[in-house]
Homo-oligomer: A and B are copies of this chain.
Amino acid sequence: MNNAPFKGVIAYPITPFDSNENIDIPLFKKQVERLVTTGSHGIAPLGSTGVMPYLHDVEKEAITEATMQQVDGRVPTLVGVSNLTTDKTVYHAQFAEKAGATAVMIIPMSYWKLTDDEIVKHYDTVASKISIPIMAYNNPATGGVDMSPALLKRLLEIPNVTMIKESTGDVQRMHYLKKELGDDVAFFNGSNPLALSAFSAGARGWCTAAPNLIPELNIALYDAIQENDLVKAQRIFYKQIDLLKFIVAKGLPRSIKAGLDLLEIGGGGLRSPLKPLNENEIAELDSILSAINKEVYQH
């Protein structure tokens, strides 16, 4: 497997805002630092979790640079650079490379449903303008387009498209990738509730915002898989499934922010139209986190 510089748990930070809805860089750095020190194997700013599409160009650049400074080479970094137009995607990809990103992640954002040829051309153009590897990201729920396994296979023919992140929530997509592309493809799971299935199917890593709240359990799941201990992996997975389902159901930026507040790390604010969870939702999250902490420290 060439040029796939990630494995294990790739943690997605949120982008916190201050009371004027401007990005809060000091808080962001604090959150990133915690992701690194709690053991995540990679850091991925400007993902969906990081509300990348809601940010201005200057803000994206500030987040990219803050990540590089804070991570400081301790783990690899994966920067989200997706944009509706090809031109802007190239711009952000080049910025990320210059800033020192290990790789970039690109989802084919789609207002008008793109054809397969348009998507291939889009990736090809961006790939030709940078020399770091690209992770192609499939997530119809946020990006609006569902890349077929056949299309993903075409994308992998572009030299520096070396990794795939699948977030459709359908484990059969991963079976296809593994079966068709064999050990040459590094595929990553982006669907939290599928974490156990995806690792069982052979996923190389798990792209997740969960380490903001429960890093120990996320990493323990990966470790159990590495030890080929399915019974243990299953036990660890069922400890965290309620949290994984909650953060997906309520939206990652809203729920991670709420969780960081509950954990007294500080989640900052959201940018409108996104609003905080309501009181009942926060109470539900609190009870899920408490149950997990009780169980983790008892066993």
Q: Residues of A within 8 Å of B, CB-based: how many? A: 56
Decide yes or no whether A201 CB sits under 8 A from chain B: yes
Contacts of A7 in B (CB 8 A): none
A54 touches B274 (CB 8 A): no
A275 touches B196 (CB 8 A): no
B85 touches A54 (CB 8 A): yes
A84 touches B53 (CB 8 A): yes
A51 touches B111 (CB 8 A): yes
A48 touches B112 (CB 8 A): yes
Main secondary structure of the interface of A (DSSP, over half): helix
Contacts of A108 in B (CB 8 A): 273
Q: Name the segment of A127-135, A153-161, A230-238 touching the other chain.
A: A230-238
B196 touches A200 (CB 8 A): yes
With the chains together, A90 CA to B242 CA distance in Å? 38
Decide yes or no whether A87 CB sits under 8 A from chain B: yes
Decide yes or no whether A119 CB sits under 8 A from chain B: yes
Decide yes or no whether A34 CB sits under 8 A from chain B: no
A121 touches B273 (CB 8 A): yes
Report A128-187 residues with CB < 8 Å from chain B CB.
141-142, 144, 169, 171-172, 175, 178-179
Given contacts A142-B112, A144-B144, A175-B241, are A118 and B21 in contact (CB under 8 A)?
no
A7 to nearest B CB, angstroms? 16
Decide yes or no whether A290 CB sits under 8 A from chain B: no
A173 to nearest B CB, angstroms? 11
A21 touches B251 (CB 8 A): no
Decide yes or no whether A86 CB sits under 8 A from chain B: yes
A251 touches B171 (CB 8 A): no
Contact among B171, B179, B242 with A171 in the assembled complex (CB-CB below 8 Å) = B171
Decide yes or no whether A280 CB sits under 8 A from chain B: no
Contacts of A242 in B (CB 8 A): 179
A30 to nearest B CB, angstroms? 23
Decide yes or no whether A197 CB sits under 8 A from chain B: yes
Decide yes or no whether A70 CB sits under 8 A from chain B: no
Given contacts A53-B111, A111-B51, A231-B228, are A122 and B272 in contact (CB under 8 A)?
yes
